[in-house]
Amino acid sequence: MKFVHIADMHLDTSFNSLNEIEGLPEQRRLEQRNALKTIVDYIKNNDIKYFFISGDFYEHEYIRRSTIDYINNLFKEIPNTKIFISPGNHDPAVKNSFYNTYNWCENVHIFKDNIEKVEENDVDIYGYGFTDFYCKDSNIENIKIENKNKINILVIHGSLDGGKDEYREYNPMSSKKMKQLGFDYVALGHIHKPSYKDEENQRLIYPGSTLALGFDELGKHGMIVGDLSKYSLKTEFVNLDNREYIEKEVDISTDCDIEAIVEKIENLELIDDNLYKIILVGKRNFSIDIKNIKRLISKKSIIKVKDNTKMSYDINELAGRNDLTGKFVKRTVERFEKRTD
């Protein structure tokens, strides 16, 4: 059986980090829609029978009815594909959720907070969905597969092996226990970094966020395409994001003023469609005004500039200054020299 697996698309998210560039948040939201259309077109053109969406499909706080209509109309284009959605912590199936109030097309199945099994001819598909913004225990680790002769798939949103307290709020699961359950494929969501080739014969898979949402999500983003039988699993990552968030370090140790820094940044070879964070590193002997540097940069693809530099001090020069700083440094040096005598 062939399937497509996505998660963490966060449709209609605000993209606040892009607000400095007029129109960019709106453009990014349009790119999210285009990515979903690309997925649906792929499903149509490749005769994909199953489409798994493992939570955080949209942002409950920001989602618009027009976006839900857009999604549902796309789903109508693939009536022979069974679509399974497991709501996550950003799109929980709360009382006023579109998962509960909207008339979805017939090929869409939305899992809720009771662990459920959907039987198909060739596969049993289990799932669980958030019905609140937090989930400390879904009891999913105690699930029993009813027919191990069939292909068994689990669609779920949650945190695998999350040691931090914050992860324990979002359906914590143990990879060891999940493997012991015996599912042929576990379609996970919640972690925005793709994880599909971390180990041999991997069955517990995060596709990562469909499109990158910020500079904490570097690299490629897209979907998992799979071909699964009872005895084998083939997975392929398909990139869907035409942009990348990229960090670039710029060493300013040899620069002597703001103008020189800006010139060095302007000379970087950057791809216009990508979004860049410039990280200044090295030692300097002059003050830096990041806002002023950002204002002077003409490259629109540079979204952020961060100062990771350190001041370069000449102790003897500071000690010779006739001010409070000089007197303080002089006394400190004298005390240090006394201790080392």
Kindly state whether residues 180 and 297 are assigned to the same domain. Answer: no
Which one has a higher pLDDT value, 173 or 333? 173
Is the pLDDT at 242 greater than 70, yes or no?
yes
- Token pair listed for 37: 């259309």
Kindly state whether residues 149 and 287 are assigned to the same domain. Answer: no
Kindly state whether residues 253 and 297 are assigned to the same domain. Answer: yes
3-state secondary structure of 182: coil
| Domain count across the chain | 2
Decide if 330 is inside a domain: no
Which one has a higher pLDDT value, 315 or 120? 120
200: domain CATH number? 3.60.21.10
Kindly state whether residues 206 and 297 are assigned to the same domain. Answer: no
**pLDDT value of position 337:** 64
Which one has a higher pLDDT value, 255 or 292? 292
Decide if 224 is inside a domain: yes
Condensed to tens digits (0 to 9), the pLDDT of residues 296-307 reads 999 989 999 999
Is 226 in contact with 234 (CB distance < 8 Å)?
A: yes
Condensed to tens digits (0 to 9), the pLDDT of residues 203-241 reads 999 999 999 999 999 999 999 999 999 989 999 999 999
Kindly state whether residues 38 and 87 are assigned to the same domain. Answer: yes
Is the pLDDT at 163 greater than 70, yes or no?
no
Is the pLDDT at 341 greater than 70, yes or no?
no
Decide if 317 is inside a domain: no
What whole-number distance in Å separates Cα of residue 221 and Cα of residue 224? Answer: 10
Closest Cα partner for 84 from 114, 121, 128, 45?
A: 128
pTM (two decimals): 0.89
What whole-number distance in Å separates Cα of residue 11 and Cα of residue 211? Answer: 10
Cβ partners under 8 Å of residue 334, min gap 6: none
Kindly state whether residues 299 and 185 are assigned to the same domain. Answer: no
Radius of gyration of the chain (CA): 26
Q: Single out the residue in 194, 217, 239 at which a domain terminates.
A: 239
Mean pLDDT of the chain: 92
What whole-number distance in Å separates Cα of residue 160 and Cα of residue 176? Answer: 10
Decide if 288 is inside a domain: yes
Is the pLDDT at 167 greater than 90, yes or no?
no
Crossing angle (nearest 10°) for helices 24-45 and 65-76: 20
CA 15 to chain centre: 12
Condensed to tens digits (0 to 9), the pLDDT of residues 122-147 reads 899 999 999 999 999 899 999 999 99
Kindly state whether residues 201 and 251 are assigned to the same domain. Answer: no
Kindly state whether residues 136 and 233 are assigned to the same domain. Answer: yes
Kindly state whether residues 152 and 264 are assigned to the same domain. Answer: no
**pLDDT value of position 20:** 80
Binned at pLDDT 50, 70 and 90, residue 312 comes out as confident
Kindly state whether residues 211 and 123 are assigned to the same domain. Answer: yes
In the chain, where does DSSP find H-type helix? 24-45, 65-76, 98-101, 175-181, 258-266, 290-296, 315-319, 324-340
Burial class (CB in 10 A: 0-12, 13-18, 19+), 305: buried
Decide if 318 is inside a domain: no
Kindly state whether residues 264 and 142 are assigned to the same domain. Answer: no
- Token pair listed for 265: 């940044």
Q: Single out the residue in 239, 255, 289 at which a domain terminates.
A: 239
Q: Single out the residue in 221, 239, 257 at which a domain terminates.
A: 239
Condensed to tens digits (0 to 9), the pLDDT of residues 37-82 reads 999 999 999 999 999 999 999 999 999 999 999 999 999 999 999 9
What whole-number distance in Å separates Cα of residue 59 and Cα of residue 55? Answer: 10
Across 138-232, the runs of DSSP E, i.e. the strands, are 151-157, 159-160, 172-173, 185-189, 204-205, 222-228
Kindly state whether residues 112 and 182 are assigned to the same domain. Answer: yes
Report the pLDDT averaged over residues 90-108.
98
| Domain range for 257 | 245-308
Closest Cα partner for 217 from 193, 195, 183, 253?
A: 193
Condensed to tens digits (0 to 9), the pLDDT of residues 6-37 reads 999 999 999 988 988 889 999 999 999 999 99
